[in-house]
Amino acid sequence: MSGKNGNNRLRAREPLTDTQLLMYISVGIFVVMYAAAALTLKGGFLKPQMIFDLLNDNAALIIISCALTIVMIGGGINISVGGVIGLTVMSCALFLNNNHIESSALSILVTLLLALGIGLGFGLLQGFLVAHLEIQPFIVTLAGMFLARGLTTILSVNPVKVAHEGFQELVKTKLKISWLGYTAQNGNLIPAKIEIGAIVAVAVVIVMFLILRYTRLGRNVYAVGGNRQSALMLGINVKSTVFWSYVISGLLSGLAGFVFLMHKPAGNASVAMRSEMDAIASSIIGGTLLTGGVGNVIGTFFGSMILATIQKIIALSPLNASWWQEMASGAMLSFFILLQSLVLMRKNRSKRKAKQKAAAKTAEEKPSGTGGGTA
Amino acid sequence: MKKKNNASGGLGQLLIPLVALGILIVFNLFRDIGFFSIVMRVNNSGNIVLTGNLVSIIDSASELAIIAMGMTLVTAACGGQDISVGAVGAISGAVFVKVLQGMGGITPTSVIVGFLLCCLATILFKLFNGTLVAVFRIQPMIATLILYSCARSIAYWINGDATPQLNSPIISSIGMTIPGIPIPTPIFAVILVGLLLFLIFRFTSLGIYTQSVGINEGAARLNGINPTRIKLISFILLGVCVSVAALIGVCRLGQLNHKTLLVDIEMDAILAVAIGGNSLGGGKFKLIGSILGAYIIQMLTTTLYAMNVAPVNVKAYKAIVIIIIVVAGSPVVKSFLTNLWRRVRAPSAPSGPRKEGVS
């Protein structure tokens, strides 16, 4: 009787769960890699601006990685996030160029609502199909990706640049922190610049962390992802939990599209192409399991920072041909994934050994009682 | 839910692909009956070949069908998908062309040696994936993400920045038709690979082992099956499938382009597996379902082209049709329809429902 339940309960009481361990590994890898880059490549890595640049350039990636994390913890997957970004960027760019709203603040607000609306629409549709019609999430979201990409090309095959003045000002708006800045060669102090998108991304990470940890929905998502059957028996409304996780995921992808537009104000059919794979990689490197029930948004954040840093290191290194860059980033990715897996296996093995020892002890003490069961 | 699926039995798994195929055929019958016409025609090189939409569907779905078969095995054994098939296929094609160039020309021997070597290279790359999955226990999607992102660069590195042309009757008889035989050769390749896998499953216990590893790895190990070996075998078989598909892909076009060879085929292959009624979480599988899935996807694309949908917009319509297909085949809709059917039948046949033990 105490097989699986007992194990889970034990694991929860132990000081370091797998989720936390994987998260610490990814944080550690990020710190080590960044330090190594700072020591060997010098250049920009010594300036705080580099970290802000990583955030600025990858704000949308961080947001969609969070969008994936919540779905993956619930045991599903969402590969439509990149497509939704593409569709959102394209439709927002077209809307900004063609609308006739006089106030520019109002038109930006309407654009934001449009972005969120597109994301929400995809989230609601996919959530309904996955949760209530019980279709495999991979097919549903793959169809969602096809739909979003196809709609993007139906809207416009040619690139669309945002000509809206108010929005261009918004793009240029940056938070400047002078004490984190650096002195340029001509003696001017250049303050550190943080884009609005980066702030939004960090806010999303914090909000998602709080939702997953402290709200009923968040805890239900973990329960459903860990074991659907037990969650059902505990009285959790599995369908609505899955549904809302997809809705949140869709909403976040819409937001990511808007953030992307704030970073690069132009719509294009190939915007954020294949970014869903980067987002999945960030979540997994950050310690989320595709099988569900395990994961953490903070880890995801560091996972996407690791990916971003790998790309930055390779871009700054002497290997400049694009195919060398891809091969090197593949090699680094496999190194970190292997490292993570080895640490996890080592930990599990020592845990198993400890358990076997304990079992052997109890068996010695009570030879009649607990013989098997720990293999 | 699981109980219901089991109750519906053997044909249940093939219900979705068959229904989808039926819908597509009926739709095309009403749209334009000429869609199905098959005629004998003399092609550019003077051979008599069968032409028509149906032939071209079955012909051009060959690579997808072959890769979908391998993907089914990996999915069944590992409970995850290999997303690097297209990119590794590019390596495979690059190795094939490199060997042809190295042996100084296209002769039957060089083609055979080239194919064997490209098979070997592909299997090695797939074993890399397989080792990550089976030994290091990394989730398949993330383990294959590595090659997904960098394999095309490796293909580029093998062959330099070139798109070599292969002009030879041998190449065109592999990729298109053999002179004298009116059926495109890739169709035979699908049959060959399918037959090979069928024979393997018929005369060895690999199929049942694969299923048991996919359903419960721990239980399989306790029963004396080595899950690591089974998973590695599934990746090796996928490697063979990928190299055959790459060979067809290269020969069909008569040139190697490492950027477009088998591009985006991984998503379609996974889709084919899923439309075929196989669970993407591993366990039970039916190869025939995946093959049907591949043909359904290709038929859908061809139908859309025949309706004058612009190639860039095909994705959106494809998505809508896929959603309709999977909604029609979803367990909830299925059980709703079964209940409806039973209620309609109930007054006339009071002896009760035929299927029992549903709830």
> Residue A290: what pLDDT?
78
Domain membership of residue B103 (yes or no) is yes
Amino acid identity of residue B264, one-letter, is D
Q: Do A147 and B319 touch (CB under 8 A)?
A: yes
Judged against a pLDDT cut of 50, whether residue B5 lies above it is answered with: no
Tokens representing A70 are: 């919540």
Residues of A in contact with B318 (CB under 8 A): 146, 150
Amino acid identity of residue A98, one-letter, is N
Q: How many domains does chain B have?
A: 1
Domain membership of residue B16 (yes or no) is no
> Residue A2: what pLDDT?
39
Nearest C-alpha neighbor of A125 from the set A115, A135, A114: A135
Whole-model pTM: value is: 0.84
Contact B294, B64 (CB under 8 A): yes
Judged against a pLDDT cut of 50, whether residue A12 lies above it is answered with: no
CA-based diameter of chain A, in Å?
A: 85
Judged against a pLDDT cut of 90, whether residue B197 lies above it is answered with: yes
Whether A163 contacts chain B with CB within 8 A: no
Give me the helices (H) in chain A, please. Answer: 3-13, 18-40, 48-57, 59-73, 81-98, 104-127, 137-155, 165-172, 196-214, 216-226, 228-233, 238-263, 275-285, 297-316, 322-365
Residue B263 to residue A324: CA distance in whole angstroms: 20
Could you confirm whether domain A23-348 is CATH 3.40.109? no
Judged against a pLDDT cut of 70, whether residue A137 lies above it is answered with: yes
For residue A275, how many other CB atoms are within 10 A of its CB?
21
Size of interface A-B (CB pairs under 8 A): 132
Residues of B in contact with A142 (CB under 8 A): 267, 270-271, 322
Which parts of B108-173 are beta strand (E)?
none
Q: How far is CA A361 from CA A3, A4, A7, A207, A348, in A?
A: 19, 22, 19, 46, 20
Judged against a pLDDT cut of 70, whether residue A347 lies above it is answered with: yes
For residue B233, how many other CB atoms are within 10 A of its CB?
19
Label residue A3 by pLDDT band (50, 70, 90). very low
Q: Do A345 and B270 touch (CB under 8 A)?
A: no
Residues facing residue A190 across a β-bridge: A182
Q: Do B132 and A330 touch (CB under 8 A)?
A: no
Nearest C-alpha neighbor of A22 from the set A302, A213, A330: A302
Residue A253 to residue A276: CA distance in whole angstroms: 10
B136-157 pLDDT, tens digit per residue, is 888 888 789 889 888 988 998 8
Average pLDDT on B241-245 reads: 96
> Residue A11: what pLDDT?
46
Nearest C-alpha neighbor of B330 from the set B79, B9, B81, B15: B15
Question: What percentage of chain A reaches a pLDDT higher than 70?
Answer: 91
> Residue B263: what pLDDT?
86
> Residue B357: what pLDDT?
44
Segment among A256-265, B14-23, B243-252 with least mean pLDDT: B14-23
> Residue A328: what pLDDT?
76
Which residues contact residue A32 at a Cβ distance below 8 angstroms, ignoring those fewer than 6 apart?
none
Residue A324 to residue A316: CA distance in whole angstroms: 13
CATH number of the domain encompassing residue B172: 1.10.3470
Whether A98 contacts chain B with CB within 8 A: no
Using CA coordinates, name the residue in chain A closest to B333: A133
Q: Is the dihedral of CA B145, B94, B298, B208 positive or negative?
A: negative
Pairing of strands B39-42, B48-51: antiparallel
> Residue A367: what pLDDT?
55
Residues of A in contact with B322 (CB under 8 A): 139, 142-143, 146
> Residue A9: what pLDDT?
47
Residue A182 to residue A132: CA distance in whole angstroms: 55
Judged against a pLDDT cut of 90, whether residue A371 lies above it is answered with: no
Which residues contact residue A232 at a Cβ distance below 8 angstroms, ignoring those fewer than 6 apart?
A238
To the nearest whole Å, the CA of A193 is away from the closest chain B CA by: 31
Using CA coordinates, name the residue in chain B closest to A143: B319
To the nearest whole Å, the CA of A309 is away from the closest chain B CA by: 16
Average pLDDT on A5-20 reads: 55
Q: Name the more confident of B273 and A322.
A: B273
Domain membership of residue B202 (yes or no) is yes
Q: Do A337 and B138 touch (CB under 8 A)?
A: yes
Judged against a pLDDT cut of 90, whether residue B3 lies above it is answered with: no
Label residue A15 by pLDDT band (50, 70, 90). low
Question: How does the average pLDDT of chain A come out, rounded?
Answer: 85
Nearest C-alpha neighbor of A155 from the set A86, A81, A57: A86
Residue B302 structural domain: 57-318
Tokens representing A324 are: 């060398």
Q: Do B139 and A150 touch (CB under 8 A)?
A: no
Domain membership of residue B170 (yes or no) is yes
Domain membership of residue B242 (yes or no) is yes
Residue B19 to residue B263: CA distance in whole angstroms: 28
Q: Name the more confident of A328 and B271.
A: B271
Secondary structure (DSSP) of B167-234 = --HHHHHHHT--TT--S-HHHHHHHHHHHHHHHHHHHSSHHHHHHHHHH-HHHHHHTT--HHHHHHHH
Segment among A26-30, A59-63, A87-91, A221-225 with least mean pLDDT: A26-30
Segment among A220-224, A252-256, B6-10 with least mean pLDDT: B6-10
Label residue A13 by pLDDT band (50, 70, 90). very low
B69-120 pLDDT, tens digit per residue, is 999 999 999 988 899 999 999 999 999 999 998 888 788 899 999 999 999 9
Label residue A49 by pLDDT band (50, 70, 90). confident
Contact A231, A52 (CB under 8 A): no
Judged against a pLDDT cut of 90, whether residue B159 lies above it is answered with: no
> Residue A4: what pLDDT?
43
What does the domain layout of chain A look like in residue ranges?
Answer: 23-348
DSSP single-letter state for residue B149: H
Judged against a pLDDT cut of 80, whether residue A44 lies above it is answered with: no
Which residues contact residue B3 at a Cβ distance below 8 angstroms, ignoring those fewer than 6 apart?
B357, B358, B359
Judged against a pLDDT cut of 70, whether residue B355 lies above it is answered with: no
Question: How does the average pLDDT of chain B come out, rounded?
Answer: 86
Whether A342 contacts chain B with CB within 8 A: yes
Judged against a pLDDT cut of 50, whether residue B33 lies above it is answered with: yes
Domain membership of residue B83 (yes or no) is yes
Question: What percentage of chain B reaches a pLDDT higher than 90?
Answer: 43
B310-328 pLDDT, tens digit per residue, is 888 888 888 888 888 778 7
Q: Name the more confident of B242 and B20.
A: B242
> Residue A345: what pLDDT?
81
Segment among A192-201, A344-353, B41-50, B343-352 with least mean pLDDT: B343-352
Domain membership of residue B97 (yes or no) is yes
> Residue A366: what pLDDT?
61
Residues of A in contact with B332 (CB under 8 A): 132-134
DSSP single-letter state for residue B355: S
